[in-house]
């Protein structure tokens, strides 16, 4: 860039006129800059060390002391107006740049959903999402039980000690409470309100309503103080079953579970019961189903046994009937409960349950 050619002339008016001209042309240059790089260049040309404006500093020295004061002030003011203009333009350009980038990087999830295999190209490219595998499994379980004559009921996820423990034959400080890693809520007296550790409290709510007989399943979310790993989630789902009627036997329970197993898993799949303990049933059992991975011949998933444990069950304990005011001399019943996430895991052969929560679209679209 060449020096301004006012050397020698040095008149104050001429100096001021040159400053004004330079300010006007620089202002135009700065405000026309279309992006951040162009602005940096315009700034260098208008205000940089080798700019015409900077060249005027040298000219100042040739003016008289009095003229120099006025000329210096004019020059400085012009310079700071241009600097302000440059930084305002910079803010504008950066924000435009940000929106441009956000727009370019925006991910439209409906665009990345895979086309189901066999669908014609383009037909499903903007397919809507679908229910999570756990929700699909819950819906399917409900359908199977409804077809067997059961009703579907629900209860709250925040429960009182009475419903989650006490009415289920676990009085305060009962050691069996240790089977559940309970999360208490800061509500009321300490350790009186909690996130339910199982769906069994809904049994109590149904029995208290005393609309007998009861044939119901109760699906829902449960919470335990568990560290997530391949087979545990601190927030998970269970489905509870309850039958209360006159003359209900252990045989009815075994038959119902067997019926459910073949209806849900398909022909050739069976169930078996093994003695166990739960405070709210007597006798209690664990129920197992044919391992769906190997069909019963033994594999890694079932540790070679051919069976997979699904949940617990048993005959409703007379103490539970007494807690809700049902006469155990007149009525009897059975209950069962198992994990829905675990069931989905076993049925689909998922190595790690945490995949259900990862929201990885490549995983989710497989179901
Ligand atoms: N509530 C039990 C649990 O979470 C499972 C269970 C066992 C439910 C036996 C029942 C039952 O209804 O009869 O571990």
Select from 226, 311, 335, 338 the residue to mutate for testing ligand 1; criterion: most ligand atoms less than 8 Å from CB.
311
In contact, 200 and 155? CB cutoff 8 Å: no
The DSSP bridge pattern shows strands 214-223 and 151-152 to be: parallel
Three-state secondary-structure class, residue 49: coil
**pLDDT of the residue at 5:** 45
Distance 24 CA to ligand 1 centre (A): 83
**Which residue blocks in the chain are alpha helix, DSSP H?**
12-32, 36-47, 52-60, 65-105, 109-112, 133-147, 161-164, 200-209, 250-265, 318-324, 340-348, 361-364
Ligand 1 atom showing the smallest separation from residue 316 Cα: 13
**pLDDT of the residue at 200:** 98
Ligand 1 atom showing the smallest separation from residue 197 Cα: 4
Distance 3 CA to ligand 1 centre (A): 91
Ligand 1 atom showing the smallest separation from residue 222 Cα: 4
Residue nearest to atom 4 of ligand 1 (CA): 198
Distance 196 CA to ligand 1 centre (A): 12
Distance 74 CA to ligand 1 centre (A): 87
pLDDT digits (tens, 9 = 90+) for 344-362: 998 888 989 999 999 888 8
**pLDDT of the residue at 365:** 86
Closest CA relative to residue 312, chosen from 226, 233, 203:
203
**pLDDT of the residue at 3:** 43
In contact, 222 and 237? CB cutoff 8 Å: yes
The list of the chain residues with pLDDT below 70 reads: 1-10, 108-128
Cα separation, 296 vs 294, whole angstroms: 5
**pLDDT of the residue at 108:** 66
108 CB-contact burial (10 Å; exposed 0-12 / middle 13-18 / buried 19+):
exposed
Ligand 1 atom showing the smallest separation from residue 337 Cα: 8
Sign of torsion, CA 125 131 134 138?
Answer: negative
Query: What are the structure tokens assigned to 25, written together?
Result: 């042309």
Ligand 1 pocket (Cβ < 6 Å) reads 198, 200, 240, 278, 281, 311-314, 335-337
Cα separation, 85 vs 307, whole angstroms: 77
Q: How far is CA 28 from CA 36, 42, 211, in A?
A: 16, 9, 84
**pLDDT of the residue at 293:** 86
**pLDDT of the residue at 272:** 97
């Amino acid at each position: 860039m060449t020096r301004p050619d006012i050397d020698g002339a040095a008149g104050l008016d001429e100096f001021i006129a040159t400053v004004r001209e330079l300010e006007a042309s620089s202002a135009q240059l700065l405000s026309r800059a279309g992006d951040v790089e162009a602005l940096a260049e315009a700034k260098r040309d208008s205000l940089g060390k080798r700019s015409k404006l900077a060249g005027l500093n040298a000219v100042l020295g040739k003016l008289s002391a009095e003229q120099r004061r006025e000329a210096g002030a004019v020059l400085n003011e012009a310079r700071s107006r241009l600097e302000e203009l440059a930084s305002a333009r910079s803010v504008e350009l950066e924000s435009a740049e940000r929106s441009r980038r956000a727009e370019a990087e925006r991910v439209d999830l409906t665009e990345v959903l895979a086309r189901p295999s066999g669908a014609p190209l383009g037909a499903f490219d903007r397919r809507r999402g679908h229910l999570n595998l756990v929700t699909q499994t819950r819906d399917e379980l409900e359908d199977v039980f409804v077809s067997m004559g059961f009703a579907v009921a629900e209860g709250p996820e925040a429960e009182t000690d009475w419903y989650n423990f006490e009415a289920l034959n676990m009085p305060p400080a009962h050691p069996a409470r240790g089977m559940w890693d309970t999360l208490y809520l800061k509500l009321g007296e300490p350790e009186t309100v909690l996130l339910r550790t199982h769906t069994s409290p809904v049994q109590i709510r149904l029995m208290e309503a005393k609309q007998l007989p009861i044939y119901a399943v109760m699906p829902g979310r449960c919470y335990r103080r568990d560290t997530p790993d391949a087979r545990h989630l601190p927030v998970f789902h269970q489905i509870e079953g309850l039958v209360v009627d006159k003359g209900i036997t252990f045989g009815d329970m075994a038959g119902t579970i067997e019926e459910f197993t073949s209806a849900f898993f398909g022909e050739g799949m069976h169930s078996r019961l093994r003695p166990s303990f739960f405070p709210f049933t007597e006798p209690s059992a664990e129920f197992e189903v044919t391992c769906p991975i190997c069909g019963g011949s033994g594999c890694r998933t079932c540790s070679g046994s051919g069976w997979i444990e699904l949940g617990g069950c048993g005959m409703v304990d007379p103490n539970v009937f007494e807690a809700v005011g049902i006469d155990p001399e007149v009525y009897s019943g059975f209950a069962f409960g198992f994990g829905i996430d675990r069931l989905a895991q076993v049925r689909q052969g998922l190595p790690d349950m945490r995949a259900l929560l990862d929201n990885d679209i490549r995983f989710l679209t497989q179901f």
